[in-house]
Chain A
């Protein structure tokens, strides 16, 4: 087991509004599996992902990564955890505009213990000929693939992806999903993908549905479908 959450709750303030993002989530993630978390916007899926990734802390309940308790971990411990074990992919890529593709990957390999070369990571997502392009010179799909290369370059145990195809058209989105699937299969990385797109669930080992801050259904696919077979 990679992640284990029990009774996880989270409330936060946004401006003058109090938001109950998680209302008690029990969930386990296993090594080398590909999980898709489905839910409408506001269902709490991003919050869950952020807490598992050590980007945020829970208001209540408990979360463990392998034999490490993240629930009461210090800011410093969470930083070390992210540094050593987790790769993130965000909906809006969050590349640093002033750095090239290669440098955006290097920003992570610079601080990792066993990184692959930035060129190799970019090769894995099919961008070996776009190494020295700035984000502004890349298409949306290419930018997202740079973000994936950045996430996998440190060879993390877990890859957490928040709406990785949300800002892309379906054809580009499928290329991005192929890259994620490839990583999961070749490197045995646990991959969690958040989306509101039902179709993507078909490529997963398991599909977790969230609604209003709770897990409402967990479904195991008999067979994973290849991203190329998906349509939306």
Chain B
């Protein structure tokens, strides 16, 4: 081995603490990059393949009932490629050994064969046999939740009639990758399932012989969905169509799309932050290492080593640190990515989603890390080789010092010599001190951001489940039901309070922007489903006019007082204009609200409702559910407590998990920055500090000078870090605002306190480590050594 390479390894060994700290930060960057990019890649690729192989439809439409003869006319719509008409029926189920109410959606498939569009992927068993009316294929998530296998029995209530069906197979569908009940935000596989049954059998059971109530179509290459949707809407209007929609409004696709969007943001933001910090650290550390080897560089050059040899030498030193960081990052990335893929398969049901590390991702990660490292090291290497050897061998000119600003302000007698040394050291290289402050501030900022995520998610869920949704049970009816049903519900066992609502699917249009949602018609002052104003106080509904979720109003570019065009997608399908009279502050979901009586008038109908919210005595729940299931027209029973538990689990699995990892990484950065700073400060001052000890300063007094410098930098960095963290939180809040939920920009003092405490702790550990080094310092040898 060449002698220079030996020097490389020995230098690296001597720097092991600092090198490890930097490698850890690089590893963090590489890890987040690998996780985000690989997951993003795996998800989009799997999605694409699943859609393609199983012929996922482009446009979807629900309607009341249309004769099969209409199918031909649908096929003739310009731009339409294939058409699949279906019968779909909301059902209730009883699963052996499971007490809670279970809802489901039963969809038809052609007798004994795969449909043309939205084909099924068989996990187990087979599709229902041709001609059989007692077999169903069930979604794999539902099967898994209840441990159902092919051959098991299931009791299903279709159109009020209970039948026992046998599971023929377990399947996956591109239509239900993300499988949620219509009113839910998150999957609940135990309480909601999708089933597929032969068309003739289902049509017969649901009273749809010779007819269909759902259609999906695929588009020809080059056709746009908007034109086809328009055409479909015109054709289906008289058959009770409630508006066709494209993939972007298809719930499963929409959620998956949002998730991919989030991942894309993550894939850019997080690795950038970590790699910038490591570039910064490398810059500081390599700069000082090279400066401390100024004379060695001069000797090497004196003996004829070329600039490029020396540059390569230090380049390799950096390279080895980067390599170690990359190796660690790749290992951690693969490990975490595998776990993340497992979490994703829980929420997104694909035939196969496997974490795989693609060569290009690996190359990208290493290239980005090496690029960051180069950015950090280039300047130091350059300045070391560009110095003529004779000059490099001359001792550095005595450093120029001057009285610091603070000294000029503060009276002399308040400052002891130690404080003076600290102030002048910092003041001597304001740029260097500034960079150190920035580095520490960055880690404070990252910690504030991590703590913000954790705090804000809890704040969001508390708002939703303590202030907005105050009911225990949510009932939906299969058809609009006379409002007097409330009186009947009030007499059910354990019911403490009842409120009813009307829900109408609409398309909101403002300028060229539009959004599909439902208008909820509520009581004047709803108590079980509160509408909060900007001050988080419940507001009451004015007699006329529309309220929108604030996020939706902004999205549509609307302000209070503007008028909104509302296209009703049910019944008469009129288009009306309504004034926007208020906005609602709510963190989950987006919706439109108005008074129920006004909505009934707009629909030209009597006082009818679509569902009810109940406040119940939990101890009487089993009895209540038994009665509710027997009420005619109840399509679904949702329990808010279950929904809350689900969403908290989801948040815990995804966002909070990420935030926790983030906090750990940010903590390690804080430590790396502070420790490196402290070590370098120590190396630069060892002689000075030894001199002071020889002059009779106690260890404690000398330590105070060193620690004072660390702490001074940290204290200055804290407020800067709070500001940076607030900025990070704002950016995150913007990137993560979506239909499903919006994490509020709520920064509690706790978040700042946590970040502050963590960085102070990191500084304290770094200080202790350096002070221990100081105590081991051999004063005499340091003083004898030549500068």
Contact = CB atoms under 8 A, between A and B. Distances in A.
A79 interface: yes
B494 to A, nearest CB: 80
Contact of B304 (A12, A79, A99, A104): A79
Interface string B285-324: 0000000000110111111111101000000000000000
B9 to A, nearest CB: 9
B391 interface: yes
A226 B305 CA distance: 35
Contacts of A154: 303
B393 A94 contact: yes
A22 to B, nearest CB: 12
A50 B583 CA distance: 80
A53 B302 contact: yes
A56 interface: yes
Contacts of B10: 98-99
A98 B11 contact: yes
Interface stretch (A60-68, A82-90, A183-191, A205-213): A82-90
A83 B295 CA distance: 18
B2 A94 contact: no
B303 to A, nearest CB: 5
A110 B389 CA distance: 20
B394 A110 contact: no
Interface in A88-112: 88, 90, 92, 94, 96, 98-99, 103-104, 106-108, 110-112
B390 A94 contact: no
A12 B392 CA distance: 13
Contacts of B7: 96, 98-99, 103, 107
Nearest to B9: A98
A107 B394 contact: no
Nearest to A79: B306
Nearest to A99: B7
**Residue among B300, B393, B786 with max Cβ neighbours from chain A (10 Å):** B393
Interface string B360-388: 00000000000000000000000000001
Contacts of B391: 12, 56
B99 interface: no
B76 to A, nearest CB: 79
Given A57-B388, A96-B296, A88 B302 contact: yes
B604 interface: no
Interface in A38-70: 47, 50, 53, 55-57
Identify whether the interface residues of B are mostly helix, strand, loop, or mixed.
Answer: helix
A56 B390 contact: yes
Contacts of B400: 15-16
Contacts of B296: 94, 96
Contact of B303 (A12, A92, A98, A107): A107
Contact of A107 (B298, B300, B306, B398): B300
B359 interface: no
Interface residues of B, number: 31
Interface in B755-780: none
Contacts of A112: 304
**Residue among B298, B305, B398 with max Cβ neighbours from chain A (10 Å):** B305
B14 interface: yes
A154 B2 CA distance: 15
B303 A88 contact: yes
A75 interface: yes
A110 B304 contact: no
A80 interface: yes
B255 to A, nearest CB: 58
B300 A82 contact: no
Contacts of A167: 786
Nearest to A109: B3
A110 B4 contact: yes
B390 A55 contact: yes
Given A15-B400, A56-B388, A103 B303 contact: no
Contacts of A106: 2-3
B302 to A, nearest CB: 5
B390 A82 contact: no
Given A90-B393, A98-B10, A99-B10, A82 B3 contact: no
B388 A55 contact: yes
A141 B400 CA distance: 35
A222 interface: no
A82 B302 contact: yes
Contacts of A57: 388
B408 interface: no
Nearest to A153: B303
Contacts of B393: 55, 90, 94
Given A14-B397, A103-B6, A110-B2, A94 B388 contact: no
Nearest to A151: B303
Contact of B305 (A76, A92, A98, A111): A111
Contacts of B302: 53, 55, 82, 88
B508 to A, nearest CB: 71
Contacts of A92: 786
Interface string A12-40: 10111000000000000000000000000
B533 to A, nearest CB: 68
**Residue among B302, B306, B309, B391 with max Cβ neighbours from chain A (10 Å):** B302
A46 B340 CA distance: 66
A103 B299 CA distance: 14
Given A15-B400, A107-B3, A75 B304 contact: no
A47 to B, nearest CB: 8
Interface string B616-634: 0000000000000000000
A99 B400 CA distance: 34
Given A14-B394, A92-B786, A94-B295, A79 B301 contact: yes
Nearest to A76: B306
Given A94-B295, A96-B299, A110-B2, A15 B389 contact: no
Nearest to B396: A15
Contacts of B3: 99, 103-104, 106-107, 110
A75 B400 CA distance: 30
A98 B298 CA distance: 16
B397 A75 contact: no
Contacts of B299: 88, 90, 94, 96
Contacts of B397: 14-15
A82 B390 CA distance: 13
Interface in B1-21: 2-4, 6-7, 10-11, 14
Nearest to B385: A75
Nearest to A147: B299
A82 B14 contact: no
A50 to B, nearest CB: 4
Contacts of B303: 82-83, 87-88, 107-108, 111, 150, 154
Contacts of A88: 299, 302-303
**Residue among A76, A79, A92, A108 with max Cβ neighbours from chain B (10 Å):** A79
Contacts of B4: 107, 110
Interface string A100-131: 00011011101110000000000000000000
Contacts of B306: 76, 79, 83
7 nearest A-B residue pairs (beta carbon) = A83-B304, A56-B390, A15-B397, A98-B10, A106-B3, A107-B3, A55-B390
26 contacts: A12-B391, A14-B397, A16-B400, A50-B390, A53-B302, A55-B301, A55-B388, A79-B301, A79-B307, A82-B301, A82-B302, A86-B304, A90-B299, A90-B393, A92-B786, A94-B295, A94-B296, A98-B7, A98-B14, A99-B7, A106-B2, A106-B3, A107-B4, A110-B4, A112-B304, A167-B786
Interface of A: 12, 14-16, 47, 50, 53, 55-57, 75-76, 79-80, 82-84, 86-88, 90, 92, 94, 96, 98-99, 103-104, 106-108, 110-112, 150, 154, 167
Given A56-B389, A98-B7, A112-B304, 18 more contacts: A14-B394, A76-B306, A79-B301, A82-B303, A83-B305, A88-B302, A96-B7, A96-B296, A98-B10, A99-B3, A99-B6, A99-B10, A104-B3, A107-B7, A108-B304, A111-B304, A111-B305, A167-B786
